[in-house]
Amino acid sequence: MAVMFSPVKIGSMTVSNRFVLSATYEAMATETGEVTDDLIGRYRTLAKAGTGLIIPGYFFVHPLGKAAPKQAGIHSDDMIPGLKRLVEAVHEHGAKIALQLVHGGMQTGKANTGRAPLGPSGGLRNPMTLEKCREMTPDEIEETIQAFAQGARRAAETGADAVQIHGAHGYLISEFLSPFFNQRQDEWGGSDERRFGLVKAVIQEIRKRVPEDLPILIKLNTNDFTPKPGVTPPLAKTYAGWLRDMGIDGVELSCGTFFTLHMVRGKIPAKEIVKVLPFWMRPFARLQFRRLRRSCGFSEAYNLPAAEHIKPALGPVPLMLVGGVRRLSQMEKLVAEGYPDLISMSRPFIREPYLVKRFKEGKAKEAACISCNKCFAAVANNLPVRCYVNGLPI
């Protein structure tokens, strides 16, 4: 079991092993976006357990991009002292930490921002709340680029080892990259190059605001699985090549949006998720979930075929594979064969924060997580993230 416990370099950062905690929204911040002791405690434990790289749940970079009620923010300098405590808690135990930066795009709305959701194009509806999205103006796009850059600058000031741009799961950057969400015909849409424009500008602005050697990572969809084609593996491969040309330091490959929930394959806890919705929407949502059950079932390492397709475009850029990776022997094999350089997991670490230690000591050969997705339903209901395999207290 040598490879998974061997160090790896991501840009200037050396990670002590190949285990990554993939960003996982905790529903543990205050309503105004400050981190709490409970949130910090979660990451202290994961660091203590030997997790090499920790990526806490997404931080909103702009108040209009806040995607969930108890989401932590990096939208203002007031957040820096709390974030510093988080970073220090992780560093105390020798782990590395990357802060994930997000703008919720159309996957948020009035309840979180006080306004209608914003997206590359108007008309589409937030798949959860059915709120209609408004097309962003060029000025709003510019403001958002600066918000990402300022978020990254703050992350660097906290002492974080890296930043990760959330370019997956149907949030704003993923929407701009997607021909399904982005139907603009101005300089931000109309061709693959122009749809790539937002993320390109975000990376360029971040570079101006952070120390030269701060690694910039991105989480990217290999497939949006939207009702009509969005990002697909060939397009993701094109984007991966452009990201490499821009000097990206690491890429985590994922999939799905809130239209179809493919990012968390497994069971769909419909009963618990519909509780978030107004009564009138529940029958429709139940029907949708029944349909999704067929395509969203669990399969092991479900982003692997797409990762194999995309890897050649990335060349030497470290690749993190997320989604349904559970067996240590499979992780060893994949990393030894050189497809992913690191293995990212989310739900397994919710159930077993000490998973890396258990693997190392030979006490576990695979994660105990059964992908029931009750953790996902819990955070949707504003309950703090943990394993709720035996049921939610709602």
Ligand X SMILES: Cc1cc2nc3c(=O)[nH]c(=O)nc-3n(C[C@H](O)[C@H](O)[C@H](O)COP(=O)(O)O)c2cc1C
Q: How many positions of this chain bind ligand X (CB under 6 A)?
A: 25
> Which of residues 36 and 183 has its CB atom nearest to ligand X in the complex?
36
Q: Are 1 and 332 in contact (CB under 8 A)?
A: yes
> Whole-angstrom Cα distance, residue 173 to residue 165?
8
> Whole-angstrom Cα distance, residue 200 to residue 194?
9
Interface pattern 214-243 for ligand X (x via CB under 6 A): -----x------------------------
Q: Are 27 and 70 in contact (CB under 8 A)?
A: yes
Torsion angle defined by CA atoms of residues 160, 166, 171 and 174, in that order, rounded to the nearest 10 degrees: 160
Instruction: Choose which of 148, 196, 376, 388 interacts with ligand X (CB under 6 A).
Output: 376
- Determine, following the binding rule CB under 6 A, whether residue 25 of this chain makes contact with ligand X: yes
Q: Quote the least distance from Cβ 376 to ligand X, whole Å.
A: 4
How do beta strands 162-167 and 319-321 pair? Answer: unpaired
Interface pattern 331-370 for ligand X (x via CB under 6 A): --------------xxxx----------------------
- Residue ranges in 101-160 that form contacts with ligand X under rule CB under 6 A: none
Instruction: Choose which of 17, 24, 158, 178 interacts with ligand X (CB under 6 A).
Output: 24
Q: Are 335 and 18 in contact (CB under 8 A)?
A: yes
> In terms of Cα–Cα distance, which of 53, 48, 40 is closest to 81?
40
> Which of residues 15 and 253 has its CB atom nearest to ligand X in the complex?
253
How do beta strands 319-321 and 342-345 pair? Answer: parallel
> Which of residues 58 and 188 has its CB atom nearest to ligand X in the complex?
58
Instruction: Choose which of 136, 307, 385, 387 interacts with ligand X (CB under 6 A).
Output: 385
Backbone angles phi, psi at 113, to 5 degrees: -125, -10
How do beta strands 319-321 and 250-254 pair? Answer: parallel
Q: Quote the least distance from Cβ 266 to ligand X, whole Å.
A: 8
Backbone angles phi, psi at 191, to 5 degrees: -155, 165
> Whole-angstrom Cα distance, residue 32 to residue 233?
37
> Whole-angstrom Cα distance, residue 336 to residue 373?
30
Q: Which residue stretch of 17-25, 221-229, 241-249, 334-342 sits at the interface with ligand X (rule: CB under 6 A)? A: 17-25
> Whole-angstrom Cα distance, residue 237 to residue 313?
6
Interface pattern 49-88 for ligand X (x via CB under 6 A): --------xx------------------------------
The residue length of the chain stands at 394
> Which of residues 50 and 189 has its CB atom nearest to ligand X in the complex?
50
Q: Which residue stretch of 202-210, 223-231, 232-240, 317-325 sits at the interface with ligand X (rule: CB under 6 A)? A: 317-325
Instruction: Choose which of 33, 323, 340, 353 interacts with ligand X (CB under 6 A).
Output: 323
> Which of residues 22 and 182 has its CB atom nearest to ligand X in the complex?
22
**Interface with ligand X (CB under 6 A):** 22-25, 57-58, 100, 166, 168-169, 219, 254, 263-264, 322-324, 345-348, 375-376, 379, 385
